[in-house]
Amino acid sequence: MKKIVTRIMISIIAIIALLAVAVFIFLQQPMFGKIPSGERLARIQKSPNFRDGSFQNLNHTPDLSEDATYYSVMKEFIFGEKKRVKPTDVIPSTKIDLLHLDPAKDVLVWFGHSSYFIQIDGKKILVDPVLSGAASPISFTTKAFQGTDAYTVEDLPAIDYLFISHDHWDHLDYDTVLKLKSKVGKVICGLGTGEHFESWGFDKNMIIEKDWNEEIILDNGFVAHTAPARHFSGRGILRNRALWTSFALKTPTFNFFIGGDSGYDTHFAQIGKNYGPFDLAILENGQYDKSWKYIHMMPEEVLQAAKDLGAKRLFPVHSSKFALGNHAWDEPLKRITEGNKSVNMPLITPIIGEQVNLKDTTQVFKQWWIGVE
């Protein structure tokens, strides 16, 4: 009997060891990027936002809410009832010719989730592009909803500025940025994220990475400021080695807030005071849950954040392409439009690929999600 138990224990240990080796080998793939080292790490360690070996949020930010545990979250995610988390219908989209866009037009085109293209005052800008069909290191998981991949990298013109809010898979896509390498002039990101780009062969001279509350002079009349967000970072096991950030981008004629991912907190009001008011605030609205309410906003909080920022218009993103939360795929848009009845914030809600005319405040957007199952 003792020999049988011993053999079983040896087998279990061997299986665990093999799994550990397999995971280690898997994590060595280039798509995971690199943890900051050398001069970059030395700079990070001097940051007031880096303490105890990792970047920190401005205020205490638990991973989970007080009434949640990792066990309860995993149980709900795996075994919980999921109603319409993914659409059964094809998500509607359209496609315009970005390669031959009139350079005099000031437009925004949304690619679903948090990816979008902006042409403003003669410059072409791309934010958090994920155009590979998945938001995961394993391509058959977290797949894009049917109909949401209308655009590919080949459809994009040369990009002056590529903004990356943080290094999560649904915001920094390895396949997409590799294909973009020859098209991008400058990469603007949070401190530490540049290590990924350098490991992927990007010239370090084209990477601009900053701590919070730093100014970036991009071109004549184009100035970006990095600003706080309430979130986290990481592409593998280690977390918070690179900084998550939002951006206040001022062009010669327009003022954008590029929100990235963030839970609600006091930083929105401070950003509004420092850099607002904003002609357009682009804020995450989706993949939220009561269990992780500190790192992703609820739709009602998105409206409050837009008000705090002094936004003239609001574009809610982070929905309609990937199922990363437990809510129905169209709930974010339904809740924010319902909540907005008492707020009256002008909302931009285009279908994927639709041309948004940035300076046309009379442009009307349909509630396209109604009737899509």
pLDDT digits (tens, 9 = 90+) for 292-304: 999 999 999 999 9
Tell if the pTM clears 0.85, that is, is over it. Answer: yes
Residue that wins the pLDDT comparison between 16 and 237: 237
Burial class (CB in 10 A: 0-12, 13-18, 19+), 114: buried
CA pair distance 346, 340, nearest whole angstrom: 9
User: Which pLDDT does position 75 carry in this prediction?
Assistant: 72
CA pair distance 341, 326, nearest whole angstrom: 25
CB 256 within 8 A of CB 280: yes
Phi-psi region of 234 (alpha: psi -120 to 50; beta: other; left: phi over 0): left
CA pair distance 355, 365, nearest whole angstrom: 11
pLDDT digits (tens, 9 = 90+) for 152-182: 999 999 999 999 999 999 999 999 999 999 9
CA pair distance 224, 119, nearest whole angstrom: 15
Taking 60 as the threshold, does the pLDDT of residue 5 lie above it? Answer: no
Report the percentage of the chain scoring pLDDT > 70. 92
**From 3.40.50.300, 3.60.15.10, 3.30.2090.10, 3.30.70.20, which CATH number describes the 98-357 domain?**
3.60.15.10
Tokens 């290094």 locate to 167
Order of strands, sheet of 116-120, starting from the edge strand that comes earlier in the sequence: 207-210, 184-190, 159-164, 123-127, 116-120, 107-110, 355-357
Residue that wins the pLDDT comparison between 66 and 183: 183
| Rg of the chain on CA atoms, in Å | 21
Q: Say how many C-beta atoms besides its own lie within 10 A of residue 79's C-beta.
A: 8
Mean pLDDT over 70-88 rounds to 80
Mean pLDDT over 354-360 rounds to 98
Taking 90 as the threshold, does the pLDDT of residue 15 lie above it? Answer: no
Report residue 16's pLDDT band, with 50, 70 and 90 as the boundaries.
low
Taking 90 as the threshold, does the pLDDT of residue 74 lie above it? Answer: no
Mean pLDDT over 357-366 rounds to 96
CA pair distance 310, 138, nearest whole angstrom: 40
Taking 80 as the threshold, does the pLDDT of residue 10 lie above it? Answer: no
Question: What residue spans define the domains of the chain?
Answer: 1-32, 98-357
96-99 long-range contacts, CB within 8 A, separation 24+: 96/353, 96/355, 98/151, 98/155, 98/156, 98/157, 99/155, 99/156, 99/157
